Structure 1
Amino acid sequence: MTRTVYVNGEYLPETEAKVSIFDRGFLMADGVYEVTSVLGGKLIDFDGHAARLARSLAELDMKQSVTHEELLEIHRELVTRNEITDGLIYLQITRGAPGDRDFAFPPEDTEPTIVLFTQNKPGLADAPQAKTGIKVISIEDLRWHRRDIKTVQLLYPSMGKMMAKKAGCDDAWMVEEGFVTEGTSNNAYIVTKDGTIVTRHLSNDILHGITRAAVLRFAKEAQVKVEERPFTIEEAQNAAEAFITSASAFVMPVVEIDGQPVGDGKVGPLAPRIREIYLEEMRKAAI
């Protein structure tokens, strides 16, 4: 089935969708994006993603030409038109296409480019790796220093994914000045031997994950202690458990780091418990 996508106010077959070669997203990676999960035909944590989108646009001095309500309507329409039960909706907004290439920002009246498309992912919440865990490697964090803005500058994270794949692993955790920042497309966590969840504190160094915020809230409500601080790869390797969170992976256990097993090398008890709580609560709140 040919997908219906959204481009600048129009719903189109994906084969007919076009964006200018002068678009700033294409030429300068001058754009932001969000990915919202769909479970049971409903949007997971849409308000959180919409709020972060607004923040990202504001940080880049980029105007938002669609309202919260309009974005919600577009998301729902794409779910309906593409018959998505479980899957993802990708949203990208760029500074637009001024008609030529220039490092300077285009005139203020240049309209942003807005693109949305769906990805059908049957059984998204039932990924087998949630029961077996994933393996990660560590790599140096060479990204720019505004990682809190969810931009389309994804070349280095993409390279990190390929480094992990070449090493026979699933993902990479990035390290800066001796401490883990985050995964290539996710936030990183460890669980100490006393059951405390540790994850890096919010700053410009990491993405302010929407799933991260929900998971930490649910963990605290479940009386699980949480510490927001940096941790090293060595500390992670010696932890009781490790896991990642993202909008598409939800909560995913990590069982190996740089070839060394975490704990006994098997999925521990806490990550699956947090995953179950997260999915249950987010399904209840889905819209």
Structure 2
Amino acid sequence: MKLIRLFLGIVSVSLQREAAHRGNVVFQALLAAVSVFAGLATLRVIFSFTASLAGWTLDETVVLYGTFLIVSGVMGAFVEPNLGFFAGRLRSGDFDDVLLQPVPSLFLATLATCSPWALLTALLGVGTLGVGVANLGDSVTVLGGLTYGLLLGAGVVVAWASRVLLAALAFWAPGLEPSIFYGAFWQLGSYPVSIYSPPVRAVLTSVVPVAFIATVPARALTRTGDLGLVAGGMVAAVVAFALAVLVWGAGLRRYTSATS
């Protein structure tokens, strides 16, 4: 409960801070809308030349794209503002402040601040998802919806864990800045991973597991729910979370203050 209250307090403070710049709200909303509609326009162009994309119809791909936007918005609001420049915080010694707080360092390092307007992308993703589901009609079942919700949650956990693991590399190599490459691979998750070559699919499944954030939940929703996918997704989330905690702990034991 303490961590939940702290998290809600962080969100409240961030909202108050952003509300002081109201012009930024309009700008961020327009920027998010343009980005989303550009993505949808790209899908429309692609499907003007083909009826399916690696076995995915246009409406199924719209569901996938909406799912990708939801997870991207959540990550952009709560995780990226904290871990995007983590290596720099280690080099400057700012990370020491995190270690001095009576709160788990992993919590503060990943959720100490947030960017509320990134949630606009998530909201647009919900709308995009709704359009795709409406067009699919009766092919979407209650079971599919339930499995989708579970796998979406698992996808968020996997995305968070993969970002923690990437940031934790800085404990061993403070000069490493892998965020650019991570961002590039992340964008590949807006399409079905089956369209990529086997080596790229392997990277998108294990190294930067964007397959779990959009393709897997969307497949469960559009293909009438697959309990095997749910089991696999839950296992992946648990393993990813545990691995992130273990690697983070190992990194902390190695860490030496930059100010010492």
The TM-score with structure 1 as length reference comes to: 0.30
Higher relative contact order (CA 8 A, sep 6+): 2
Judging by fraction of residues, say which structure has more helix: 2
The TM-score with structure 2 as length reference comes to: 0.32
Judging by fraction of residues, say which structure has more strand: 1
